[in-house]
Amino acid sequence: MQLLLVEDDSTISVPLREGLMREGFEVTVAATGAAALAAPPVDLVLLDLGLPDLEGRVVCQQLRARSAVPIIVVTARGDEIDRVMLLELGADDYVVKPFGFRELVARIRAVSRRMAAPEAPAAHSTVVVGELTVDPRTRAVTFAGAPVALTPKEYDLLVCLAADPGAVRSREQLIHDVWDEHWWGSTKTLDVHIASLRKKLRPEFIETVRSVGYRLVDGPGGA
């Protein structure tokens, strides 16, 4: 698996690259946002936000605009608003500094397993729930007739909820199905993705079932 590590601090990038290579990954390092955008295609991007030339958020947005490559953002910011904004810009996940090396490797391997997983046979059937239409063949999503731009993880979460509209999906099941059965990070990631989906669709279209999880409201316009 080929990784692009976008980090301008060599005291971080050098040992991190060495550690990742010991784990069996091929790692290319980009010290600037411009270098990251000019780098050849990879399987996953580790993107630090504190870059010397471009805002990390801009780099994230531009990377997402050109491909569906998984992006894990490394940030020193723990504020939820920043997290929501990052996910809206196209990041699939984030780790907050200081982070554990084992945690980072576990998340990278989880992405690798999902990429290698075979597509479900029914995945080509168009899904329609109220004003929502999802075309799994092209991964195109429309709501109330307008196209909706989703990150890969937002798309996976929406498909998971839309597979059985009206049914309550527990938080544990959503983490298992959308992230990974061995996920051991914070479940706050799920809440942030749900918040982002609600903003892009309609808040009431995804209902919170207290102490259980979430469900997609099966009705016109999510009413």
Distance, CA of 115 to CA of 153 (rounded, Å): 12
What is the edge-to-edge ordering of all strands in the sheet holding 2-6? 26-30, 2-6, 44-48, 71-75, 93-96
- Which band of pLDDT confidence, cut at 50, 70 and 90, is reported for residue 66? confident
Residue with the two structure tokens 């329609």 = 128
* pLDDT band per the 50, 70, 90 thresholds, residue 94: confident
DSSP codes of every residue in 131-153: TEEEETTTTEEEETTEE----HH
Statement: residue 17 has pLDDT above 80: yes
Residue 1: pLDDT over 80? yes
CB 130 within 8 A of CB 218: yes
Is residue 116 over pLDDT 60?
no
User: Cα dihedral sign for 183, 108, 103, 35?
Assistant: negative
Averaged pLDDT for residues 123-138: 85
Q: How confident is the model at residue 122 (pLDDT cuts 50, 70, 90)?
A: very low
Percent of the chain with pLDDT over 90: 45
Q: 182-200 pLDDT, tens per residue?
A: 555 556 788 889 999 999 9
Tokens (6 digits) for 51: 């870059």
Which of 115-119, 125-129, 160-164, 177-181 is predicted least confidently? Answer: 115-119
- Dist CA 61 CA 64 (whole Å): 5
Contact 72, 46 (CB under 8 A): yes
pLDDT reading at 78 higher than 80: no
Mean pLDDT of the chain: 84
pLDDT value of position 195:
92
Q: Which uninterrupted H or E stretch holds 106?
A: helix 101-116
Q: In the predicted model, what is the mean pLDDT of residues 96-114? A: 81
Domains of the chain: 2-116 (3.40.50.2300), 121-222 (1.10.10.10)
Q: 130 near 191, Cβ under 8 Å?
A: no
- How far is the C-alpha of 90 from the C-alpha of 72, rounded, in Å? 10
